[in-house]
Each structure stands twice: as C-alpha cells, then as structure tokens.
Amino acid sequence: MVIPSWLTPPAPSTAIEIASHRVTVAGLGRAGSRPVVSAYASEPLAADAVQPAPAGANIPDPAVVTDALRRALERTGLRSASRVALVIPDSVARVSLLTFEKLPPRASDLDQLVRWQLKKATPFPIEEAVVTSFVANVGEPGTTLAAVVARREVVAEYEAVVGALGIHAGIVDLASFNVMNAVIAGGAAADGDSLVVTLAAEATSLAILRGSDLMFYRHRAAVDEEPLSALVHQTAMYHEDRLGGTRFGRVWLSGSAFVGGAEQARRGIREHLGAPTETVDVTSVVQLRDPAGTPADVLDALAAPIGLLLRERKAA
C-alpha cells in the first residue's frame, strides 16, 4: 500500500543531541526557500554525566541530564515539542559495512540476513539488540549496507532522558552519520572524495565519502590511545590502497572545539594530507539569526542535530 502524502508524518522540526559533555537543542524552520535555525542552545554536562559505551550504564544519574535538557529547551522556547529527532554518541553502537551480491526483496528477510551477519561479532545476544541498516554504496561486487547494532537497553537510557520531559524521540541516530548529512546537505561532498572526522571526548569516528556514498567507516575509542595523526594516516592509506583514491578533495572536522586543539588538529591534518581542512559549517546550507562570526563551538554543537533535521526534511 502506498501511503498518501497527507497521511505521512511531517519531518521533525526539533532535534536534541545528548553527548558526553553537553546537551544541545536545535529547531529548524524556513525563511523563504532557505531553511533557518529558529533556535538553538547547549547546556554543559559534568564529565561523568554521560558515559557513552555499547554496554553498561551510560547515564548513571538521568535526572542530571534531564535537568540540563530542560534548561536548553526553555532557552530555545521549544519546550512544547512533542516529537523530536534524537542524536546519540557513536560509541553507543557498532557500525559494520556489509557487502552483498544480491539483496533479498523483502525487508524482513533483509533484516534477518543482516542480523545473521552481525551475530558472531556482536558482544551480546543479537536478540537484545536494535539493528538497522541503509545502503552505503552500490558497485562491484554488489550493494554495501551500513549496518548499525546497539544494545536496546542502552539506547533506551537516552530515550528515557527525553521521555522524562514528555517528549517522544521518533528518530534516533548516531552523531557522525549526521555530521556527514550536514556535509552532504551543504553540497561539499560533490568536491570528490571527502574525509569526515568526528571527534568526541571518548572516541573518534572517521568516514570516507565518495560524493554522497559512504565508502569507509572507522570508530576508535580514546582508550585505544591512537593519536589522531595515526588514525588519519591509516585511513588515507586505505583510501589509496583499497578505494583507488589519490588525495581527498576536502577534510571536514567536527567536535574539535569541544575536545580541544581545534586549530592544531586542522593544521596537522592539512599538512599530512595536503587537503583543505575545515570545520563542518551548517551555515552554508541553513540560515542563522545572527550568522556573523559564528563561534566554532556553536558550529560543532549544531552539526549533528541540524544534519539530522535536514536529512529528514529531504526525505519527507
């Protein structure tokens, strides 16, 4: 059955990101033909308030995070939102790129196939997992899916923070995916192969985009103690050896304003790869009420939530 468009739920206009060091609320409206950020606010969190991990308690004291979220909602005037898009840390989930020569036509059969592929590598029973997948790229030898698996009870912790304020998280997605959505929405992915680096206090995620196709994804926890330069070098070698790339058309960096050493990180990547390295800037595709001299920490805070809202608006 094809659902008539007037029965299709509207795309959410508010997104919330719960990160290890802050909660952010952003609203998206429209001014003429261009999307506009109608309101945004971030509230800082104590270092141990959110502890992103694939297992165990991620939010030891939910009331602390809920209070911060309440303050951010009040500052934006978006407290009345009843359905939102929710961005959670990359470290909550495991992302695998799985290639199949042929995909089964039925969604239920595809779900079973993906779960079967993930089962051996998932460190908890697959029956306790939330599993989703989407087409990352199509080529030889077939279709590559990005499969995401997370423990259901861990995702529920983040949903409960939002639910405590009477808000339903209709969409839940990972931070780095939506940083990529912000890059793609801005048209920057058309510059050739791009490297997108998403930094968080607890981990680093690296992705290679070929146009809007996801070709490579890697997530490394900070406890692995691999410096950013080593991660970037290894990714560049994969790009050259396995993907036939030469050099990246552009490198996009998100999260450095909060992790620290933003300029040092940009300079180091630029010198190592010889590619333009910039902070992900949503103002290239959305309008801010006061766009002049937008601080780097604001750009960082907005990248993932606005990227998710732009994706949903395009899909609606």
Q: The domain that contains 128 carries what CATH number?
A: 3.30.1490
Which residues form the domain of 236?
190-280
Any idea what the CATH number is for the domain that residue 38 is in?
3.30.420.40
Q: Does 126 lie in the same domain as 66?
A: no
45-54, 205-214, 283-292: least confidently modelled range: 283-292
Average pLDDT over residues 232-236: 94
Spatial CB neighbours of 197, under 8 Å, sequence gap ≥ 6: 204, 205, 206, 228, 232, 251, 252, 253, 254, 269
- What are φ and ψ of residue 266, in 5° steps? -65, -45
Q: Does 119 lie in the same domain as 81?
A: no
Q: Is residue 310 part of a domain?
A: yes
Q: Does 111 lie in the same domain as 172?
A: no
What pLDDT is recorded for position 77? Answer: 92
Q: Does 135 lie in the same domain as 68?
A: no
Q: Does 219 lie in the same domain as 81?
A: no
Q: What is the torsional sign of CA 128, 115, 50, 202?
A: positive
Q: Does 200 lie in the same domain as 158?
A: no
* C-alpha 144 chain-centroid distance: 19
Q: Is residue 304 part of a domain?
A: yes
Q: Does 103 lie in the same domain as 175?
A: no
What whole-number distance in Å separates Cα of residue 187 and Cα of residue 110?
31
Helical residues (DSSP H) of the chain, grouped into ranges: 62-76, 107-119, 152-163, 175-185, 228-241, 256-259, 262-273, 296-315
Kindly tell me the burial class for residue 116, based on how many C-beta atoms sit within 10 Å of its own C-beta (0-12, 13-18, 19 or more). Answer: exposed
What pLDDT is recorded for position 10? Answer: 76
3-class secondary structure, 288: coil
Give yes or no for a cis peptide into 9 (omega within 30° of 0).
no
Q: Does 165 lie in the same domain as 175?
A: yes
Q: Is residue 185 part of a domain?
A: no
| CA contacts within 13 A on the Cβ side of 293 | 0
Q: Is residue 40 part of a domain?
A: yes
Q: Does 157 lie in the same domain as 39?
A: yes
Q: Does 125 lie in the same domain as 102?
A: yes
How many other CB atoms sit within 10 Å of the CB of residue 78? 22
Q: Does 162 lie in the same domain as 86?
A: yes
Number of domain units in the chain? 3
What pLDDT is recorded for position 262? Answer: 67
At 47-74, the pLDDT tens digits run 899 999 999 999 999 999 999 999 999 9
Does 1 have pLDDT greater than 50?
no
Q: Is residue 80 part of a domain?
A: yes
| CA contacts within 13 A on the Cβ side of 301 | 21
What pLDDT is recorded for position 256? Answer: 81
